[in-house]
Structure 1
Amino acid sequence: MPHIDYPVNSAESLPPGSLPPLRQAVSRTDRVREALRQAILEGALPPGKALVERELAEMYGVSKTPVREALKQLHSTGLVEINAYQGVSVRRPDNLLVQELYAARCAAEPEAVRLGAVRLGATAHAAARQALQDATTLIGSGETRGLGIANRRFHRELYSACGNSFLCGFLDQLQDLTAFVAGLGWRLRATWEEEAAEHAAILEAMEQGDGPLVERLTRAHIEKARQTISRALGDGR
C-alpha cells in the first residue's frame, strides 16, 4: 500500500477548536429517568411506591422499553429496588443503608474537600455559595422539596475542587442516594437550619483555604447527619 501524505497546512485544514462539540441527544429513556429521579428525590414518589412499567409508559406517553431502561438505571443508583416477585418499587431506606452510605462518604468526602482547599488555596467559591443561598431561600419559603438537590449541589461544588476524577466519580455515585436518604430524614425530623449553619462554616473554611479545618468540619457534618437520620429511623446509634 503506498504511503499517503495528508496535507497539514492546506486551505482545507481545520484549525484546532474550529468544530463545535457534539451535543448528546436526550432520549426518551433519559427524560423518563430524570422525571422519576426528581419525583423520588422530592418525595412525590415515597419509599415502597410500586413503579409499574405499563402505568408509567401511559403517564409519560412512551412505550414500556424506555421506562424499563430508566428503571434499570435508577436501580444502579440505589433509588429503586427490583424484586423478582413484587416488581420494581422506590427503595425503602433502613439503618443498614444509612450506616454504609455515610461510612462511605466519611471515608472519601472529607479528604476530597481538604485536597480541594489545599489545591485552590484561599479563593471564593461562587457556585457553592449560590447553592447555599438557594437552599437558604427554600428553607425560608417553606418549600423544601428541592432542598436535597440544592444541598447535593453544594457538596459537589466543594469536593469536585479536589480535581481527582476517581474521588469525584466515587462521590458522584452516592449523590442521588444521599439526597434521597437525607430527604427522608428531614421528613421525619427537620434539621434544615442546623445543616445550613454547618454548610456555611464549611464554606468559610474552604474559602480560607484551610484544609485541616474544612476536613474536620466536613467529617463532623457527615457523622452528625448519620446519627440524626439513624435516630429518625428508630435506631439510637
Structure 2
Amino acid sequence: MVVYQHAAMPSIEYETPGALSPSAGPLPPLRQPASRTDRVRDALRQAILDGALPPGRALVERELAELYGVSKTPVREALKQLQSTGLVEINAYQGVSVRRPDDKLVRELYTARCAAEPDAVRLAAELHGAAAYPGARRALDEAAALIGSGETQGLGIANRRFHRELYTACDNSFLCGFLDQLQDLTAFVAGLGWRLRATFEEEAAEHTAILEAMEHGDAERAEQLTLAHIRKARRTLSDALGDDK
C-alpha cells in the first residue's frame, strides 16, 4: 500500500498505485461520475464541506493531480467549477485556496436567502395544502440520527437537503434555481459555524417546527418560521466568526 502525503494536504491511501481506496483518509475517495473533472470536483467539494480542507488551505494543481492520479487539466476545471459555487477563491497572485468566510459573506448570503426562501416555502404550502413531505422528513430523521451519534460530519448536507425538499415544492424554477446556487456555500458556512459553536440541536428543533407547519398546510406560519430560522442562523454565524478572530 502506498501513502501519498504532503504537508499542505491531508493524506489519502491507495491500495495500488493509481487505485483509490474506499477507506481513504480525510479526503474522500473519488467516485464514478461522468468525467475526471466531475470526480475531482466532487471529492474536493466533499472535503471542503466536511472540513478536511479548511478555509484558507492552498489548492495546488500539481499536488491535487498527483493525489487523485489525473492530469492538471481536470483539476483546473474542477477548481473553476468550485469557484462558481463560492467554495474556492482564485487569486492571480496568491493562487487558489478554500474560501475564508467573513461577516460580509455571511450577511450577503443570508440576506439573499431571506429574500427568496421564505417566499418559496410559503408558495409550496399554498400550492399543496396539508401534505406529506417524505423527502424532508427523511432528511430530518437523518440529521437527528447524526446528532444522536455524535457523527455530525454529514449534517450540513442533510440540512441542505431538508431545506431543498421544502423550497423546491413551490414549483417555481426561477426561485429554485437561485436557491440551488446558494446550497454549497450555505453548507460550507454553516459547517464552519458549527465547528466554532455547536447549534445543530437548536436548528433541528426549528426544522421540525417548519416541517410541521408545512404538513398542516399553514403557509403563513411556515414562511414566518423559515424567515426567523434563517435570520437566527445569520446572527449566530456572525457572532461565531467574530469570536474566532
* Common fold: TM-score over 0.5: yes
Which residue matches 1:212?
A: 220
The runs of 5 or more residues in structure 2 that have no matched partner are 1-32
What is the CA distance between 1:173 and its match in structure 2?
0.1
Alignment partner for residue 94 of structure 1, among 96, 102, 106? 102
Partner of 1:136: 144
| TM-score normalized with structure 2 length | 0.85
Shift, 1:86, TM fit: 1.1
| Distance (Å, rounded) in 1 between the aligned partners of 2:64 and 2:176 | 32
Give the counterpart of 1:191 among 199, 213, 231. 199
Normalised to the residue count of structure 1, the TM-score between the two structures is 0.88
Classify the secondary structure of the residue corresponding to 1:234.
helix
Task: Identify the match of residue 165 of structure 2 among 137, 157, 167.
Answer: 157
Q: Which has the larger radius of gyration?
A: 1
Separation of aligned partners in 1, 2:234 and 2:197: 13
Q: Alpha-carbon deviations, 1:105-141, whole Å to 9, x = none? A: 0000000000000001101111100000000101011
CA distance, structure 1, for counterparts of residue 118 and residue 209 of structure 2: 14
Q: CA deviation at 1:190?
A: 0.1
In the TM superposition, what is the alpha-carbon distance from 1:234 to its structure 2 partner? 1.0
- How much identity, in percent, do the aligned residues show? 81
- CA RMSD between the two structures: 0.8
> Counterpart of 2:90 in 1: which secondary structure?
strand
1:37-91 CA distance string (max 9 Å, x none): 0000010100000000000001111000000000000000000000111110000
Inter-partner Cα distance in structure 1 for 2:239 and 2:94? 29
2:60 is aligned to 52
Confirm or deny that 1:226 pairs with 2:237.
no
- Which of 26, 38, 48 aligns to 2:46? It is 38
Alpha-carbon shift at residue 207 of structure 1 (Å): 0.6
State the alpha-carbon separation in 2 of the partners of residues 205 and 228 from structure 1. Answer: 24
Distance 1:158 1:39 in 2: 26
* Cα separation, 1, equivalents of 2:178 and 2:184: 12
Question: How far apart, in 1, do the equivalents of 2:167 and 2:133 lie?
Answer: 12
- Counterparts of 1:121 and 1:42 in 2: how far apart (Å)? 36
Identify the match of residue 125 of structure 1 among 118, 133, 146: 133
Per chain length, whose mean CA-contact separation is higher, i.e. which structure has more relative contact order (CA < 8 Å, sep 6+)? 1
Q: Distance in 1 between matches of 2:60 and 2:44?
A: 12
Q: Does 1:74 align with 2:94?
A: no
How many pairs are equivalent? 211
